[in-house]
Amino acid sequence: MLSHVQRYPINMYLRIAVQYLYALKMKHLDTSWDFRSANTKRTTHCFHSYPAMMIPQVAERLLTKYAKKSRILFDPYCGTGTSLVEANIKDIHAIGTDLNPLARLIAQTKTTRLDLQLLDIYLRDFSDFTSSQFRFDAEKRKYAVLLPQFKNIDFWFHRSTQTKLALIKSFIGEITDEGIKNFFLTAFSETVRESSLTKKGEFKLVRMPPEKREKFNPDSFDIIFSKLSRNRRGLLDFAAVKSNGATAEIKHFNTVSPIPDNCLVNESIDVVLTSPPYGDSRTTVAYGQYSRLSNQWMGVESQVDDKLMGGKKQVDIEIKGSKILSETIEKIADRDENRAREVLSFFADYQKSINHISTKLKKKKYACYVIGNRTVKGIQIPMDEITADFFKANGFNHAETTVRNIPNKRMPDRNSPTNVRGEKSATMKREYIVVMQKQ
Ligand SMILES: C[S@@+](CC[C@H](N)C(=O)[O-])C[C@H]1O[C@@H](n2cnc3c(N)ncnc32)[C@H](O)[C@@H]1O
C-alpha cells in the first residue's frame, strides 16, 4: 500500500492532467472549422468585400449548435451582416447594429428580398441610361454633371471617372423603391472603390504609384454592371434558401453606451453571434478608412474610425475582472506606455459593450464571439480569454473556445488592413470562437 507521502505526488499529477485535459476541451484547435475549400461567397455573401468578415460557414455551424429553436439573433458589430444572413436562412429574425454607414447599407441589402421583376425593370433602364451613345454624349458633356464636393476627390479619382460615377449616382438618386436603391448603392460603392486611384487588393487607402495612375482608365459603367449581375444571382440564391418569415433590422446604436429598452428589450435575445473589432482603428482594422470614399460619394458620414470602439484614447482607466488583461497591459507598458494606454482604452470600451449586451440575452442562452488575438509590441493579446473573463463577470459560464486556422485565401480579410508593418503574419493565422452561456 502507498504511504500518504507517496500518494500525494500521484494525486497532484492526476489533478494537473485532469486540468490540462479540461483546458484542452475548453480551448481546442479543430481543423474541421477551417472550411478550406468552402464557398464563402454563397447567396448574398458575394455582395461586397469588407475588412475582417466572418465566414458564413462559421456562423451557420454556430447557429446549428447554439441557436436551436431561437427566434431572435443579435449581432452588436454586424458589419456587412454575415451572421444576419445566416440567421434569416435558418428562419431566425436578426437584429444588427454598426456605426459605419457603409456596413449598414451592405447588411441591409444582403438581407432584403426584392421584387425581382421590378429590379429587372430598373436594370434595363440603367442599361439604356448607360448605352454607348449616351456614354459618349455624357463624356463629351463631362463638366455638365454635378460632381460631389469633397476634399481630395481629385487625389483619388481622375476627372473622367468622376463624371462617370456622378452619372451613375444621378440615376440611383431617381430610384424610388428603397430596397432597389440600396441594391444599386451597394454595387455603386464597390464601383467607387475599384474606379479609384487606390492600390488594389488593400483595405487601406493607399494611392497607386504614378506610372499606374497615368494608365488607369476604369470603365465604371462596366464595373457596376458586373457587380449588379453578380449580386442579382446572389439574391436569387438567397431567395431560394431563405425561409419566408425571417427578416433583419439594421440599427445604428453604440453598445459601448447603455442600450435603452426601446432599442433592444432586456432579456429578449435568444443568441448573440458576432465578430467584434479586435483593436483600435489606428493600429488594426480601419473600417472607416476602408469605407471613406464610398461614404463620401454617397454623401453619408465618412469620419467613422474615431467613433468606433477604442477610437478615442481615454485617461485614468481602470479595468477590473480580467487578470490576464492586467498582466498583458503591464507587459506592453514595459515596452511602450503609450501603446499600453491605447490597448487599455479599447478594452475599456469592449468591457462596457459586453456588460450592456449581456443584459439583452435571455437566461441559459449563448453568446458566440469570433475573435482574433492580435500582437502589440511583440506581445500577443489573449482577447479570447479576456472576452471570457468579461462575460464571466456578468454571470456567464464558459461553454467552449474553438480555435480555427484561417486558410490562406482568407488571410487578406483578417490581415492586410493592419496598419502595423510585420503584424500581419504574426497575428491572424488563427481565430478563436468563444462561446459563453448566461446562467
Ligand atoms: C469585424 S467587423 C464585423 C464584420 C462582420 N462580422 C462581417 O462579416 O461583415 C467589426 C465591425 O464593428 C463595427 N464597430 C466598431 N465599433 C463599434 C461600436 N462601438 N458599435 C457598433 N459597431 C462597431 C465596425 O464598424 C465593423 O463593421
CA angle 181, 185, 191 (to 5 degrees): 150
How much is the pLDDT for 313?
78
Cell reading at 189: 460603392
Cβ contacts of 357 within 8 Å, gap of 6 or more: 74, 76, 255, 259, 272, 367
Position 151, amino acid: K
Q: Distance (Å, rounded) from C-alpha 197 to C-alpha 152?
A: 11
Cβ contacts of 12 within 8 Å, gap of 6 or more: none
How much is the pLDDT for 426?
43
Cell reading at 327: 498582466
Q: Distance (Å, rounded) from C-alpha 289 to C-alpha 203?
A: 8
Task: With cut-offs at 50, 70 and 90, classify the pLDDT of residue 11.
Answer: confident
How many secondary structure helices (H) and strands (E) does the chain include? 17, 10
How much is the pLDDT for 410?
38
251 shares its domain with 370: yes
253 shares its domain with 327: yes
Q: What does pTM read for this prediction?
A: 0.91
Do strands 379-380 and 72-75 pair parallel, antiparallel, or not at all (unpaired)?
unpaired
Task: With cut-offs at 50, 70 and 90, classify the pLDDT of residue 416.
Answer: very low
Q: How far is the CA of 137 from the centre of ligand 1 (A)?
A: 42
Of 312, 306, 390, 384, whose CA–CA distance to 351 is shortest?
Answer: 390
How much is the pLDDT for 255?
95
pLDDT tens-place string over residues 91-106: 999 999 999 999 999 9
167 shares its domain with 221: yes
50 shares its domain with 158: no
Is 355 within 8 Å of 428 (Cβ atoms)? no
Write out the residue range of the structural domain in which residue 177 sits: 116-238
Ligand 1 neighbours, Cβ below 6 Å, are 50, 52-54, 77, 79-80, 82, 97-100, 103, 254-256, 275, 277, 287, 308-309
Backbone angles phi, psi at 437, to 5 degrees: -115, 130
Go through 180-191 and write b for each residue having 16 or more CB atoms within 10 A of its CB, e for each that does not: bbbbbbbbbbbb
- Of the candidates 223, 238, 253, which is a domain's last residue? 238
* Ligand 1, atom nearest to 52 Cα: 1
285 shares its domain with 422: yes
- Residue 4 included in any domain: no
- Residue 10 included in any domain: no
220 shares its domain with 315: no
Identify any residues that bridge with 200 across adjacent strands, giving them in sequence order.
Answer: none
Identify any residues that bridge with 207 across adjacent strands, giving them in sequence order.
Answer: 198
Cβ contacts of 177 within 8 Å, gap of 6 or more: 115, 118, 122
247 shares its domain with 175: no
341 shares its domain with 391: yes
* Ligand 1, atom nearest to 310 Cα: 16
- Residue 224 included in any domain: yes
- Residue 285 included in any domain: yes
Q: With left for phi above 0 and alpha for psi between -120 and 50, is residue 118 left, alpha or beta? A: alpha
Measured in whole angstroms, how far is the alpha carbon of residue 382 from the centre of its chain?
20
- Residue 294 included in any domain: no
How much is the pLDDT for 22?
58
Q: Distance (Å, rounded) from C-alpha 73 to C-alpha 63?
A: 9
Task: With cut-offs at 50, 70 and 90, classify the pLDDT of residue 422.
Answer: very low
pLDDT tens-place string over residues 62-85: 999 999 999 999 999 999 999 999
CATH, residue 355: 3.40.50.150
176 shares its domain with 230: yes
- Residue 300 included in any domain: no
78, 186, 306, 357: which to mutate for ligand 1, most atoms within 8 A of CB?
78
Is 369 within 8 Å of 387 (Cβ atoms)? yes
Nearest CA to ligand 1 atom 21: 98
Task: With cut-offs at 50, 70 and 90, classify the pLDDT of residue 130.
Answer: confident
367 shares its domain with 248: yes
Residue 218 pLDDT > 90, yes or no?
yes
219 shares its domain with 137: yes
Tell me what the pLDDT averaged over the chain comes to.
89
- Residue 192 included in any domain: yes
pLDDT tens-place string over residues 20-42: 665 556 788 999 999 999 999 99
Do strands 430-438 and 72-75 pair parallel, antiparallel, or not at all (unpaired)?
unpaired
- Residue 20 included in any domain: no
State how many domains the chain has: 2
45 shares its domain with 184: no
pLDDT tens-place string over residues 352-407: 999 999 999 999 999 999 999 999 999 999 999 999 999 999 999 999 999 999 98
